[in-house]
Chain A
Amino acid sequence: MGAAPKKTETGEQQIPRRSFLAWMSGVGILGTAVAGVFSTFVFMKPRATYGQPNRFTIGRPDEFPAGARMAIDSKRVCIVREGNKVAAISTTCTHLGCIVAPSETGFQCPCHGSQFDVDGNVTGGPAPKALSWYQVTLTPSGELEVDKDNEIQTGTYLSV
């Protein structure tokens, strides 16, 4: 039956074939279990949600004249155009999540009075940090696309 069997503490014989099979079975079962757990986590993470998408187009550049500051409340974003540069600034207040409105000096939050300048930096009120800037790209068909999953540094514009 192969190599001489080893002896265990109680003097019983360890059979190599048996332990090999046991080891194989262990690998198989454990491997399947790991695959199962992994698959379960992949399953649980939704690949498509039913709410508003985070990447959306907002129109062509010429729909935003120079100097425009257009707040799109349904998307919680404000489109800013300076000359030939376009940016998208989040209008979700960094304090507790209300929608801020554009004001003469920048943005103003109606809930707890947070104030932001035109670039979204905090100038007053309880907000802890600046409003996010989202990546804006130009799609091949010539439309502006905002990607809220991609935050960029304040002051980064897209040139159109």
Chain B
Amino acid sequence: MWKDLLDLPRNVWRSIFRNPLPSSDRGRAATSFTNFFLHIQPVRVSKQALRPSYTMGLGLISFFLFVILTVTGVLLMFYYVPSTGMAYDRMLDLRSSVAFGIILRNMHRWAAHAMVAVVFLHMCRVFLTGSYKPPREFNWILGVCLFLLTLLSSFTGYLLPWDQLAFWAITVGTSIAGYAPLVGKELKFLLLGDANVGQEALLRFYVLHVVVLPAVLTIFVAVHFWRIRKDGGLAKPEPAALPPAAAAEPDVAAAAAVPAAEPARRFVIQGLVRGPLVKVGKLEEDTVFSWPNLLIAELVVLLLTIAGLLAVSYFFNAPLEQPVNVMHPPNPAKAPWYFLGLQEQVSYSAFWGGIGVPGIELLLLVLLPFIDRGKQGVGRWFARERVLANSVFLLFVLINVVLIVIGTFFRGANWQFVSPF
């Protein structure tokens, strides 16, 4: 019994971590099956996928920002109250009397803005590398949905400080929503819970922002990751020359082919993966083990994200303007930056600018993989074969960016043109 006590720490440790740190290829392969958090990773991953210049880690950054937003958001929930009488005061308290309140709020705000931008850039990367083509069409659509969910999350959160910036930005944004044909008025009333922005809107936006949208986002993110695995990992170019036999071989992703050097463990087929894939036992040249290479890459991206976010949050305070004054709209009253392009368009035509054109752009995005069925140019940046698609896309991106820039810097009181200099 005394020996049991002495062995206690070791036994506790061993009961949690049943496998030693891998020191052989088999061990490294096994990490995908022996650890809950790591089993989302494939056993081997292509070297191209790990190259920073290929993806710039944008997808990962988006995900990590989402995690950071969730964590900081939950912490902020311990002090924030979604009441029109108390919300602003609680924001003041977060800035002053709450320990770490100011850095948490800053991190949450800047991460939110960053996430919208990074998700957008991630979408650009996926487009420009042709990574939406079969079998990845559905994943692309999931991505578009995630982009919309990100925008909605940012928008619902924007109202919560209940200052002039928040109140009037949401007034403008929900009014744009009100222009939707047939359902516009109903939609606006549903969102606001009342004729105007007030306590009901604050409460609804709070629930959406804190429960509904994160839950839906999580589910979509989960399926998005699942799809990455099942589609064979990140899109990469077709190998230059493959022996026909290799291309026609049946696909098995399990480690069942591993020679049983130690008969203690046996593995069964976990599932089928489509597309050009990685086979244990018949290693392709340009892949490496996920452990530790993918993990290190992911950690680097995580730490970069945290470092950048910490730095920005330390030096720059998130804005907090005057308390809400329903009689005094600021002139001009501007929507959040990601909707300023829309607001600029709306200043030309309410329906077409706010609903029509964005609707068409969204439809094009969603239908993209079914419109563009060419198989060429996948997995490469700016592939020659896809010059038309890339140019059209970049044109749309440029137009939207220019519209946002105009709306941000070149519009002043009464939405008149002003010089920012």
Contacts and interface: CB of A to CB of B under 8 A. Distances in A.
A40 B98 contact: no
Nearest to B78: A44
Interface in B15-74: 23-24
18 contacts: A9-B23, A10-B23, A12-B23, A12-B24, A25-B299, A28-B303, A29-B299, A32-B306, A39-B99, A39-B100, A42-B99, A42-B100, A43-B75, A43-B98, A46-B98, A47-B98, A47-B99, A48-B97
Contacts of A10: 23-24
A39 B104 CA distance: 10
Given A8-B23, A29-B303, A47-B97, 8 more contacts: A9-B23, A10-B24, A12-B23, A43-B78, A43-B98, A44-B78, A46-B98, A47-B99
A25 B98 CA distance: 31
B93 interface: yes
The bracket for how many chain A residues form the interface is 10 to 19
Contacts of A45: 99
A59 B299 CA distance: 61
Contacts of A25: 299
A22 B299 CA distance: 12
Nearest to B300: A25
Nearest to B104: A43
A18 B24 CA distance: 16
B299 A40 contact: no
A9 B24 CA distance: 9
Interface in A1-47: 8-10, 12, 25, 28-29, 32, 39-40, 42-47
A40 B104 CA distance: 10
B100 A43 contact: yes
Given A25-B299, A29-B299, A48-B93, A43 B99 contact: yes
B130 interface: no
Contacts of B75: 40, 43-44
A44 B98 CA distance: 9
B38 to A, nearest CB: 16
A115 to B, nearest CB: 42
Contacts of B100: 39, 42-43
Contacts, number: 32
B101 interface: yes
A26 to B, nearest CB: 11
A45 B97 CA distance: 11
A39 B101 CA distance: 10
B78 to A, nearest CB: 6
Contacts of B101: 43
Contacts of B299: 25, 29
A40 to B, nearest CB: 7
Contacts of A46: 98
Contacts of B23: 8-10, 12
Interface in B99-130: 99-101, 104
B21 to A, nearest CB: 10
Contacts of B99: 39, 42-43, 45, 47
A44 B24 CA distance: 44
Contacts of A9: 23
A46 B98 CA distance: 7
A10 B104 CA distance: 47
A29 B302 CA distance: 11
A80 to B, nearest CB: 35
Contacts of B104: 43
A25 B295 CA distance: 12
B298 to A, nearest CB: 12
Interface string A41-74: 0111111100000000000000000000000000
Contacts of B93: 48
A43 B299 CA distance: 26
Nearest to B292: A22
Contacts of A44: 75, 78
Contacts of B97: 47-48
B314 to A, nearest CB: 13
Pairs A-B, 4 closest by C-beta atoms: A48-B97, A43-B100, A10-B24, A42-B99
Nearest to A39: B100
A29 to B, nearest CB: 7
A29 B296 CA distance: 12
A9 B22 CA distance: 11
Contacts of A43: 75, 78, 98-101, 104
B214 to A, nearest CB: 19
A28 B98 CA distance: 27
Contacts of A42: 99-100
A25 B302 CA distance: 13
Contacts of A12: 23-24
A33 to B, nearest CB: 11
A32 B303 CA distance: 10
A64 B299 CA distance: 67
Interface string B241-270: 000000000000000000000000000000
B331 to A, nearest CB: 36
B302 to A, nearest CB: 9
Nearest to A32: B306
A40 B299 CA distance: 22
Nearest to A14: B23
Nearest to A45: B99
